[in-house]
Structure 1
Amino acid sequence: MRHRVRTNDLKLGMFLHSLEGSWLEHPFWRSRFLLENQDQLEQIRSSGIAWAVIDDRKGKGPPESAPVAASDQPGDVPGKRTAVRRDPPPVIPRRSNIMPAPRPELRRLSGRERASAVRKASTVIKHSRTAVMGLFEDARLGNSVKSSKMAPLVDRIADSVDIDPTIILNMARLKTKDEYTYLHSVAVSALMINLARKLNVPEDQIHDIGMAGLLHDVGKTAIPDDILLKPGKLDDKEWTTVRNHPERGHQILSASEGVCDIALEVCLRHHEKMDGTGYPGRLSADNLSLVTRMSSVCDVYDALTSQRSYNKPLSASHALAKMQSWSGHFDQLVLRDFVDSLGILPAGTLVRMDEDELAVVIGESPSDYSAPIVRCFHSLHTDKAIRPKVIDTGRKRARSVLAVEDPEDFGFVDWTTMSRNLLAM
């Protein structure tokens, strides 16, 4: 039987069926699992969510003294199969000295505070473009890279990320194809800082990780513009030139003073893949550090969501869905945390809505890229299909997403085909 209990009364050994509240407030990627350690309890209690639903058929029941309410309500589907999934153990990368540390919670900004943060982020983007253009020009002329000059810029990017990462990341996504070469480095720096915060990287590592993002593509200064900006497909010779940019960048940074080891590694390895098919070293997972895995995800995401000379940008949700479909490219645990750090649900994700309905994410709101547009298609109250309807959750007073759900829990065996059909409507 399912019981509604206060989150303060949750105990280890209980099976969490759901948390009440918006999915944005949920501290976990999964919505249903066995509570097995104290960290899980602390994350739930610090999230601000007051109530949870537990299932005593799969774990411990509620304490006798705790206020509870039976919860086989509309929205809970009796008789449906619930798979208990546990995350695989994290991959411990070689040469990584990054250890978990507490991460401060971000508070919601008032309208005035957000307007001020937007102005500051806009100034950071403007100054960043100028600074990175100068850095790339120095490298193109054969001069050493002065990373010390970029240090204040990294700190300003980190400050913007700490205030509200969606602001500077959204601005960085609006770059034109002519700005891509320069602002791509700024965006990757911000994305890596934001992901590092999500992964609880110690503070003394954050600056070096941001610097690595800023310098990772400096080797592209060795690529002629007619290749770098070519709108069509590259031939074999041109592609070889492009593939040399990590090694060329590593040479430039190695010859410069004060460049940190993390920046050197990311510059050389950000195009490696987990399955060993990347370049330049064709290194596989066992030889890829955590920061390399992070840089691969951040680099590709910004490339897919940016306007470039040879392709149109994808929406954030479609880019993430595409990345999740590439077997062997990314560390899936890092990619999952990256998705969570952005607060974006990839297209094709099954979600539970308020008013007891299931929906599939079909895109992102034009007013807020972290708010999904969904297509509702199933009533949990009647356990029947409904006429599909589209909802933009980014609009004021719009309906809200409550949780990410597992299609198998509702008997949707061939969810891939089903979601594809819903997306194509």
Structure 2
Amino acid sequence: MKYDPNQSIQIPIQDLTVGMFVTAIENNKRVNLANAGRVSHQASIEQLIERGIQFAWVDVALSEKGCQFPKPKPVQQSFDSTLMASTSSASTAESAEPHHPVESKTRRLFSRDANQKRATKVIGEARKLAKKLLSQTFDSKPLQLDELNQWADELIDSVMVDPDALHCVSALRNKDTYLLEHSVNVACLLVTFGKYLELDTQTLKQLAIGGIVHDIGKIKVDNDILHKPSKLTPQEFEHMKLHQVFAQDMLKSIKGLGPISRDVCLMHHEKMDGTGYPFGLSGEQLPLHGRMSSIVDIYDALTADRCYKKAMSSAEAFKVLLSLTPHHLDKELVYKFINCIGVYPVGSVVELSDQRLGIVWVSNAHEPLKPEVKCFYSTKYTRFTEVTYVDLKKVPLTIGRAISPTGLNIDMSPFYHV
């Protein structure tokens, strides 16, 4: 079911509760959210109150059952479908009047800055958690679910508020910490994909946790094989496949781990034709979340630098995913994944038709070939340029090609920050 902002009711922010589906917020003007969704925990409500938000607009039909709604007040404002903003800035509601382009841009960047700082915190905490999990597993210590649950809630909030900020932060990679970053990125992509497929909050939470633990068995794989800078021999590959066998035992030590999280971990190497491992499941034996995990795991691995290969561009990775359908991957789901993260995903590097290089900064769901790009380099003159934000909806430029972040010998990392 899709939400219709016209069907939303206005309630005082103090009456907002966990489980309600929020479509807009209001201080003195209504601001419709670009990423509407259910409130996942009380901390999100407290943040809105602290930022001076007075009212929330909620869709009763899409809210969880059992939510108690006060009698709605008469609506005196018309719905403006072009008025969108995020909840992460105290000035969000004020940015609803873009009379001055420069001022509007400044306000939007301020909001993105706040969201990106929050995303950086969420990603940082996730990497620490992943490292802690691997360490505890290596030492055969029981794993606790409490910290993972809390982090999963924060991740879901970030995806609901500003997925662009989250994916821009997660796009910064370091091949020396691949195992940690891969687990975190798979978690982020699974939640984003799950939101796109309109899965409920509890399922999103299990997807996030499943992503974090999905490669847990690799801690027991021989280090020389795990980090071998060349193709594995058949014997070495058989040993690598054992990480899924190891994972089955490890997951038993995580008390309270949900079945979806377990499936994400144990099914991300299964294939539609039954030739995958560890169980050789096929077709209908593979649930939706199992099929999702295979797609996301392969995509993130392809777009990362590894000890034995350079990262692919998103466009190259999409071609590989499509080539693996329908025998290995669910074809319909692969197309949905590409639509979800965009032909040019946020955080990917592209070259414009005027030979400027930039990072895809803001997605455009309605026109995916025309995102906003943060330009900082000229491939024509091989030099850095003044940073400019180019909205391809408003200029006669196009994206010429997608480029792997390691395709050029320049340090792009500073430009991933606002």
Unpaired runs of 5+ residues, structure 2, are: 8-60, 65-80, 87-107, 346-352, 371-387, 402-418
Q: Tell me the amino acid that sits aligned with residue 322 of structure 1.
A: V
Partner in structure 2 of residue 335 of structure 1 = 334
Offset, 1:119: 0.7
Partner in structure 2 of residue 275 of structure 1 = 273
Q: Residue 212 of structure 2: SS of its match in structure 1?
A: helix
Offset, 1:302: 0.8
Partner in structure 1 of residue 390 of structure 2 = 396
Offset, 1:256: 2.7
Q: Residue 295 of structure 2: SS of its match in structure 1?
A: helix
Quick check: 1:303 aligned with 2:297? no
Partner in structure 1 of residue 359 of structure 2 = 366
Partner in structure 2 of residue 182 of structure 1 = 180
**For residues 332-377 of structure 1, what are the alpha-carbon distances to aligned partners after superposition, in whole Å with 9 as ceiling and x for unaligned?**
121122111112259xxxxxxxxxxxxx9xxx95343857779xxx
Offset, 1:400: 6.5
Quick check: 1:263 aligned with 2:261? yes
Q: Tell me the amino acid that sits aligned with residue 147 of structure 1.
A: L
Indicate how the Cα distance of structure 1 residues 44 and 331 shifts in structure 2: closer, same or farther if over 3 A, else same: farther
Percent identical residues:
30
Partner in structure 2 of residue 120 of structure 1 = 118
Partner in structure 2 of residue 251 of structure 1 = 249
Offset, 1:275: 1.6
Q: Tell me the amino acid that sits aligned with residue 329 of structure 1.
A: H
Quote the Cα distance in structure 2 between the aligned partners of 1:284 and 1:203: 27
Query: What TM-score results when the alignment is normalised by the length of structure 2?
Result: 0.60
**For residues 65-91 of structure 1, what are the alpha-carbon distances to aligned partners after superposition, in whole Å with 9 as ceiling and x for unaligned?**
xxxxxxxxxxxxxxxxxxxxxxxxxxx
Offset, 1:45: 10
Q: Tell me the amino acid that sits aligned with residue 396 of structure 1.
A: V
Question: Contact between 1:185 and 1:215, CA under 8 Å: does it hold in 2?
Answer: yes
Offset, 1:271: 0.4
Quote the Cα distance in structure 1 between the aligned partners of 2:342 and 2:248: 33
**For residues 73-120 of structure 1, what are the alpha-carbon distances to aligned partners after superposition, in whole Å with 9 as ceiling and x for unaligned?**
xxxxxxxxxxxxxxxxxxxxxxxxxxxx95999944422111101111
Quote the Cα distance in structure 2 between the aligned partners of 1:290 and 1:296: 10
Offset, 1:287: 0.6
Indicate how the Cα distance of structure 1 residues 256 and 204 shifts in structure 2: closer, same or farther if over 3 A, else same: closer
**For residues 95-154 of structure 1, what are the alpha-carbon distances to aligned partners after superposition, in whole Å with 9 as ceiling and x for unaligned?**
xxxxxx959999444221111011111112222211210110111111222222211111
Question: Contact between 1:293 and 1:330, CA under 8 Å: does it hold in 2?
Answer: yes
Quote the Cα distance in structure 2 between the aligned partners of 1:44 and 1:315: 36
Quote the Cα distance in structure 2 between the aligned partners of 1:250 and 1:127: 25
Question: Contact between 2:191 and 2:204, CA under 8 Å: does it hold in 1?
Answer: yes
Q: Tell me the amino acid that sits aligned with residue 199 of structure 2.
A: V
Q: Tell me the amino acid that sits aligned with residue 119 of structure 2.
A: A
Structure index of larger Rg: 1
**For residues 157-205 of structure 1, what are the alpha-carbon distances to aligned partners after superposition, in whole Å with 9 as ceiling and x for unaligned?**
2121112222222322322111210111111111111111111112222
Quote the Cα distance in structure 2 between the aligned partners of 1:321 and 1:43: 34
Which residue of 287, 290, 297 maps to 1:289? 287
Indicate how the Cα distance of structure 1 residues 134 and 151 shifts in structure 2: closer, same or farther if over 3 A, else same: same
Alignment of 1:33-112 (within 5 A): 102=62, 107-109=84-86, 110-112=108-110
Q: Residue 217 of structure 2: SS of its match in structure 1?
A: helix
Q: Tell me the amino acid that sits aligned with residue 226 of structure 2.
A: L
Question: Contact between 1:174 and 1:306, CA under 8 Å: does it hold in 2?
Answer: no
Partner in structure 2 of residue 135 of structure 1 = 133
Quick check: 1:222 aligned with 2:220? yes
Indicate how the Cα distance of structure 1 residues 103 and 300 shifts in structure 2: closer, same or farther if over 3 A, else same: farther
Quote the Cα distance in structure 2 between the aligned partners of 1:365 and 1:318: 18
Offset, 1:238: 1.6
Indicate how the Cα distance of structure 1 residues 231 and 332 shifts in structure 2: closer, same or farther if over 3 A, else same: same
Q: Tell me the amino acid that sits aligned with residue 113 of structure 2.
A: A
Question: Contact between 2:344 and 2:369, CA under 8 Å: does it hold in 1?
Answer: no
Indicate how the Cα distance of structure 1 residues 309 and 321 shifts in structure 2: closer, same or farther if over 3 A, else same: same
- Deviating beyond 3 angstroms after TM superposition, the runs of 4 or more aligned structure 1 residues are 42-46, 101-109, 367-374, 397-402
Question: Contact between 1:271 and 1:296, CA under 8 Å: does it hold in 2?
Answer: yes
Unpaired runs of 5+ residues, structure 1, are: 1-38, 47-100, 347-359, 375-393, 403-418, 420-425
Indicate how the Cα distance of structure 1 residues 294 and 45 shifts in structure 2: closer, same or farther if over 3 A, else same: farther
RMSD: 3.5
Question: Contact between 1:344 and 1:369, CA under 8 Å: does it hold in 2?
Answer: no
For this pair of structures, how many residues does the alignment match? Answer: 278
Question: Contact between 1:304 and 1:314, CA under 8 Å: does it hold in 2?
Answer: yes
Quote the Cα distance in structure 2 between the aligned partners of 1:258 and 1:293: 23
